[in-house]
Amino acid sequence: MGQPKQLLPLGNKPVIRHCLDNLAAAGIKNVVVVLGQGGSEILDSMKDLPVQIVFNENPESEMAESVRIGIRALTQSFSGVLIHLSDHPLVSSGTLKSIVQCHLETPDKIIIPLYKGKKGHPSFFPKPVIDEVFVGLNLRDIINKDSSRIRFLDVDDEGVILDMDTKEDYERILKKIGTR
């Protein structure tokens, strides 16, 4: 896309700020941002936020490695991990609150939001489950390992299925935010 997608403008701020501002508005306080190679240029957009920043310097690694790095950086105890990808900037703070509330009601379940029957992001993993990344499993393996561990949460938030993998995806998201 010519620049890191986290820095693409969306309204009056970069994509990553939409994600982080919505996490803060949802009351999520213990936030670790895992940046990849070249992430130092993204740092300026977050310098005033109360987030911990760590780096995954291996561009060939899977997302599970970033999750491992993020978990290792956590200094407070936690009951689970919300994996929020920065390429899903339109997930509302209300949806994030609903996912956390669902975790409180079903603390042993992986929470996956559904919008009109389609699986979306972010997903919440209880601590005993997310720790499976340390025995070599990736997130897909963890989800597929045992379907009885999954709780699908119906949400009225198209943002959970709107990601930015291509320029066309970004254009679609720009149009969506223009209608808000």
Residue 74 corresponds to which tokens in the numbers above? 């956590």
End-to-end CA distance of the chain: 24
User: Is the backbone peptide bond immediately before 122 cis, with ω within 30 degrees of 0?
Assistant: yes
Helices (H) and strands (E) in the chain — how many of each?
Answer: 7, 9
Total tally of structural domains belonging to the chain? 1
pLDDT band at 1 (very low <50, low <70, confident <90, very high): low
| Mean pLDDT calculated for residue range 125-151 | 94
- The arithmetic mean of pLDDT across residues 61-84, rounded, is 92
CATH number at residue 31: 3.90.550.10
pLDDT, tens only, 100-119? 999 999 999 999 999 999 99
The answer, yes or no, to whether residue 179 has pLDDT greater than 60, is no
Amino acid at the residue 74:
L
Q: Which range marks the domain in which residue 102 is found?
A: 5-178
Q: What is the DSSP letter of 32?
A: E
pTM over 0.85: yes
Collapsing DSSP to helix, strand or coil, 178 comes out as helix
Pairing of strands 110-115, 118-119: antiparallel
Run of H or E including 140? helix 139-145
Could you tell me if 158 and 118 are in contact, meaning their C-beta atoms sit under 8 angstroms apart?
A: no
In the chain, % of residues over pLDDT 70: 98
Q: Quote the pLDDT of residue 180.
A: 47
pLDDT over threshold 80, residue 166: yes
- Joined together, the tokens standing for residue 96 give 């994030």
pLDDT digits (tens, 9 = 90+) for 20-41: 999 999 999 899 999 987 788 8
Instruction: Inform me whether the pLDDT recorded for 96 exceeds 50.
Output: yes
